[in-house]
C-alpha cells in the first residue's frame, strides 16, 4: 500500500516540477488521455479525465430526459425501456455527430 501511495505522490510531484505543454489546438481530454497511454502520468491522468468529464450543467441531462418523455407518448406506448434507451442514445450521437464506439 505504501508503494502505491508513494508512486502517486512522486507522480504529482513530478508533474508540478516540470512543464507539460499542450500542442496548439489540442483538446484537454486528449492531452490527459495521452498522458495515461504514454505512462507519463497514468494516475493523475485518470483523475483529470474523471474531473474534466463532469458536465458544467445539467442541461444536457434534462434534454435527454425530455426527449425520452417525448418518445414514450401514446402512439409509442408499446416501446420497451431498452428500445427507448437505444433511440435516445442514437439521437444523442446524431446531435453530437459522434460515431458509435
- Grouped pLDDT means (10 residues each) for the chain, 101 residues: 58 87 87 92 91 71 66 64 78 69 53
Q: So what's the pLDDT on residue 57?
A: 63
Distance of CA 57 to the CA centre of its chain: 14
- What is the predicted pLDDT for the residue at 94? 76
Decide: pTM greater than 0.75: no
Instruction: Report pLDDT for 2.
Output: 41
Residue boundaries of the structural domains of the chain: 2-52, 59-96
User: So what's the pLDDT on residue 18?
Assistant: 85
pLDDT for 21 equals 80
Spatial separation of the C-alpha atoms in residues 50 and 47, rounded to whole Å: 5
- Residue matched to cell numbers 418523455: 69
Using CA atoms, how far apart are residues 86 and 63, in angstroms rounded to an integer?
16
Amino acid at each position: 500500500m505504501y508503494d502505491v501511495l508513494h508512486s502517486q505522490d512522486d507522480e504529482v510531484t513530478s508533474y508540478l516540477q516540470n512543464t507539460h505543454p499542450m500542442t496548439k489546438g489540442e483538446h484537454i481530454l486528449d492531452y490527459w488521455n495521452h498522458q495515461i497511454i504514454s505512462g507519463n502520468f497514468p494516475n493523475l491522468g485518470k483523475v483529470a479525465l474523471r474531473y474534466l468529464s463532469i458536465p458544467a450543467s445539467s442541461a444536457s441531462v434534462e434534454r435527454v430526459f425530455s426527449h425520452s418523455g417525448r418518445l414514450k407518448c401514446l402512439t409509442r406506448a408499446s416501446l420497451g425501456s431498452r428500445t427507448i434507451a437505444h433511440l435516445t442514445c442514437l439521437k444523442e450521437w446524431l446531435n453530437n455527430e459522434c460515431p458509435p464506439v
